[in-house]
Amino acid sequence: MAVDVASGLATGGPALADIDLSDRDFWVEPPEVRHAVFDRLRAERPFAFFAEPEIPGMDVGPGYYAVTRHVDLDAISSQPQVFCSGKGAVSIQDIPADLHEFYGSMISMDDPRHARIRRIVSKTFTPRMLERVVDSVRGIVEDVLDEARRTAEANDGRLDVVADVAAPIPLRVICDMMGVPAEDRDQVLAASNVILSGGDPELIEDQDEPLAALFEAGIALAGIMERLAAERLERPTDDLTTALVTTEVDGERLTHQEIASFFILLLVAGNETTRNAISQGILALSDHPEQRARWTADPSIDKTAVEEIVRWTSPITWMRRTATQDGEVNGHRFTAGDKFLLFYAAANRDPELFADPHVFDLTRDPNPHVGFGGHGPHFCLGAHLARREIAVTFRQLFEQLPDLEIAGEPARLRSSFVNGLKRLPARLPGVR
């Protein structure tokens, strides 16, 4: 068995009895520790059952099964009638009624409504349409990297990969696509950090009332939406917000709740996921200098390199499904109401599917990862956009910041849902 030397995954590993995926501290462990746990679960307890984490203000439900094998994950993902999203896809607990206004979007919806709503924006995210925005993506990346160099010049060569490179790129891209003006970007970033904080104490100050912070973040983004929506109804443009407020589904406009939650979903999903792919892609290249040299020298591997970064980082760790009926999947019996967390991060290292799964190989081909989700109607809407952003970002990084060096340990987000970095210190050694 081939094993990544850096991760040391060949040895021992954790005891099954000690594993608790609901322990929030587990999620700030470095990736090699988390993957050792996934390896153990996948091999020995592929439908491991866990009690739900306690979150103030939310009812603790019956618990969940952690799906870690690719074959099970894809079977569940591709049977949306049996394993629905409508009970909640992005939280272990069901969404409380007062948060539904902001977070009850199509990601937590089932067909046919899901498909009808998704089609309003799907055109914008097709490869053909994205051809038209690739130049603007490049312009944004160039600007951000120039600004990152200036930041380093003003700080003895020091910069933060997250704040200065990885966060502003997808934030600016999605805000431009939505028509959100530049002066609102900081507020969008702050609100989406709270929404996807996973309760990280650095982002949720009042640990006794995490839902209040979520509610406030929703209000902030909905406020931006309401102002923009009024402007777009008056003067339509070709942006996504115009599509949301003017398109009819089944002869009707979307409701206020549907527009608000859709707007929030696009903004948050559009900037958090790609950020974490970029920041941890940069970290992976730093850990694997031979891969970095290879990619720098050979743009023809852009396509496979981007897929490997998504597989390797798996920016979204899981999505939830809930059984709508009793049944059996690959020998596992379940009953209606059972919750399943589909651990994409685990399936993306499944040795049944990937040769040497813990080896970072930018030329890996085929690479049938589930970093954008498994088969099924909820496959990532922004996959083509994310690929573009990642490809352009790394190509420009090699051009504009070829001397970028990691200069410290990453600060990891304490979230089971988002595999995120809060900070990643770096330097440009030639800059003083």
Partner 1 sequence: MSRIEVDRERCVGSGACEALAPDVFEVDDEGVLVVHGTEPADGELGDVEDAVQACPTRALSLAE
Q: Please report, as ranges, the residues that interact with partner 1 according to CB under 8 A.
A: 78, 111, 114-115, 118-123, 125-128, 372-373, 375-377, 379, 381, 383-384
User: Which residue's structure tokens are 């910041």?
Assistant: 401
- The CB-of-232 to partner 1 minimum distance in angstroms stands at 17
State both tokens at 394. Answer: 């790394």
State both tokens at 69. Answer: 């094998």
Please name every residue paired with 329 in a beta bridge, in sequence order, or none if there are none: 332
- The CB-of-302 to partner 1 minimum distance in angstroms stands at 14
What does the alpha-carbon distance between residue 429 and residue 432 come to, in Å, rounded to a whole number? Answer: 8
Nearer to partner 1, 128 or 132 (CB): 128
What does the alpha-carbon distance between residue 100 and residue 111 come to, in Å, rounded to a whole number? Answer: 18
Closest of 386, 194, 119 to residue 271, by C-alpha: 386
- β-pairing, 64-67 vs 158-160, is unpaired
Nearer to partner 1, 232 or 388 (CB): 388
Nearer to partner 1, 120 or 278 (CB): 120
- β-pairing, 64-67 vs 339-343, is parallel
Nearer to partner 1, 332 or 375 (CB): 375
Dihedrals phi, psi of 159, to nearest 5 degrees: -155, 170
Closest of 22, 66, 13 to residue 40, by C-alpha: 13
- The CB-of-18 to partner 1 minimum distance in angstroms stands at 36
- The CB-of-318 to partner 1 minimum distance in angstroms stands at 17
- The CB-of-396 to partner 1 minimum distance in angstroms stands at 22
Identify how many contiguous H helices and E strands the chain contains and give both numbers: 14, 14
Nearer to partner 1, 85 or 280 (CB): 85
Nearer to partner 1, 347 or 424 (CB): 347
- The CB-of-127 to partner 1 minimum distance in angstroms stands at 4
What does the alpha-carbon distance between residue 266 and residue 273 come to, in Å, rounded to a whole number? Answer: 11
